[in-house]
Structure formats: C-alpha cells, structure tokens
Structure 1
Amino acid sequence: MYGTLLPGSAAGQEFRLELVHRGQNTILASYPMQPDQEFVLHYIHSSDHTPVAARFKATAQGGIVLVEERFAWYGAGLAFHAQSDIDTSREWTAVRMHRDMDPFFLRVGRVADHALHIGNRSIALRDLAPGGTSLWIRLRPRGEPRHE
C-alpha cells in the first residue's frame, strides 16, 4: 500500500523513534529517524477485522503527526471528519489530516497484529511485548541520554 519511505532532508537534527513499555518504563526498541521521515502502522481493526494503515511523520521539533489513515472498510474509531481531506475514489478510503500525536500511546492488540514499518524495516509489535501491553511511541533527539 505504501512504498519505501525515505528520510526527509530537514536541517541536521536526528531522532530515535522509541517504543517504551509504559508499565515497566523501559525502552523496548529504538530506531533512527530524520525530520520529515514517515513511518506506517499497519493493523487489523479489532471489531471489523479489516486492514488499516496509519501514516505518521516525524516533525523537525521532535513530534509525531498522523498524516493519513487508509482503510478498506470504515469502522468504529477510524478517522472520518467533514473537515478532513477524504478520498473514496479507490479501493481504500484515504483520510488525510494533520493530527499531533503527543503523547502517542498504543496498546498492543491481541487481534490487531500491529506492524510498524520504518523504511524497509517491519517490526511486529507482538514480538516486542504481549497483547494488552501499553506502549508509548515517542521521538527523542539522537544522543540524548535515555530518560525513562
């Protein structure tokens, strides 16, 4: 659905995308990110059992922004707002937006089979933590001491 996502060319600052176990306050995984670099979270909608892809972007200020959700079938909890840019002309509905995700908390699904795609990497979240685990997905400046 999305091709390889390449780093942006914003001014010099590098980040680490960290997946933090909220209950244990420990970093489970960390990946290099550049400003304007995108990553995608694929999952299966828990009640409709249909695929969803959420596309995010790292900001130059170290934030995370949700820029688009794509889904084959609209279900509870999916973005669909009259002021969003919505494209229903293809097989997948695309809802483009600019939603700040600070903080970005995500519970690893038991049904959702969450997979994070960063460039050519694919990370199954259930390989990092069992279903039901609450994660904090955050950006930290590269080289910053690990503050958990």
Structure 2
Amino acid sequence: MSYARVTAKLALVVAVVACTVLATTSAGTVVHVEHEQSGETLAVYSIDEDEEFSIYYVHSSEKTPIREVYVVDDTSIVQQREEYGYYAAGLEFGRETQRVDGWTVAEVDREVDEFAVRTAATTEQRLVIGDENRSLQTYTDPWETITISAEDVTYLEYVVYKIASLV
C-alpha cells in the first residue's frame, strides 16, 4: 500500500472520529433565535445556566423603557422580572415592586419555555445577551415574528446553527 493511500485512509478515519465527537459531545445550552414563519435560524448564543438575558424596548404609548429579564433553566426560559422606568398601563401589576437604580422592578418568576416577539417599526427593541446588544430589526423585517428558545446542542449542531445564521 502506498504512502499516499495510507495517509488518505488515516485522514478519513480522523475525519470520521472528529465528526462523531462533534455530533455527540454537548456544547452546552444556547439561546436560539428563529424566524417564526420560516423556521430559519437567525442567531444562536451560548449561555450559562442562570445567566441573564433581556429584551429591551420602549413602551409604545407610555414611552417608558422596559427590560424583560430572563434566565435559562436547563432548556426552559424563565422570565425573572420586568423592569421599567415608571409604571404604565399594560405592565405587570398585582405583584410586589421595588425601586432599584432608578427602575421599578416587578419580580415575575414565570416559566415561558420559548416566546415569540413581533418586531416593531415604531420602537427600538433589543436583545441583550452577554456582550451582544442587538436590535431585533437586524434579525428580520418589521412586523415579522421571531421565536426565542433555549436548547442543549452538540458541537456539530452549534456549528450548523452558526453557519445558518450567517447566510
């Protein structure tokens, strides 16, 4: 057997082993941003258990800034609290609130698993996760809906999601 054939076979074995490892080894939990209608992956972000992320926007009629704060618990998303500049119609009520650093904070602790957000053309909406602070309008056109979920992924799934979000 020639050196070239041995090298080619060895490279094939290494590639198969690498793909197997990538396909079976957990990369951890990600927040997955997906176009609701098409199912297209728009973004994927690694996240640690109990690490917070938020949706930030300005209330359409009251004009108060709002932060909806979430954490990932296993593969469920839990809304921890809602923070707003001042109380306005349509915001959490009937819950104990407190003032923290100029924000009114309503503790929520509501498991939502995944949730949908319709992107607006009338107000800035942002996803804040880790060092990422990105306008929802960069994911899709105004008035379209994105779904935000959490899932455990393998390294191969993570790479596929990352590539899909670049297209």
TM-score interval w.r.t. the shorter chain? 0.7 to 0.9
Q: How many residues align?
A: 133
Scaled by the length of structure 2, what TM-score is found? 0.71
Distance in 2 between residues matched to 1:45 and 1:101, nearest whole Å: 21
What CA distance in whole angstroms lies between the structure 1 residues aligned with 2:96 and 2:28? 30
Whether contact under 8 Å (1:38, 1:118) holds in the other structure is yes
Unaligned runs of at least 5 residues, structure 1 = 1-11
Q: 1:13 to 1:57 in 2, by over 3 A?
A: farther
Q: Decide whether the 8 Å contact of 2:32 with 2:45 is kept in 1.
A: yes
- Would you say the 8 A contact 1:20–1:27 is kept in 2? yes
8 Å contact from structure 2 (residues 31, 46) kept in 1 = yes
Higher CA-based Rg: 2
Structure with the higher helix share, 1 or 2: 2
Q: Which amino acid aligns with 2:48?
A: Q
In the alignment, is residue 135 of structure 1 matched against residue 146 of structure 2? Answer: yes
Name the residue aligned to 2:54: 40
| Pairing of 1:83-98 with structure 2 (within 5 A) | 84-88=95-99, 91-98=102-109
CA-based RMSD of the aligned residues comes to 2.2
**Any unmatched runs of 5+ in structure 2?**
1-25, 162-167
% identity of equivalent residues: 24
- Hey, which bits of structure 1, 4+ residues long, moved more than 6 A? none
Normalising by structure 1, what TM-score?
0.80
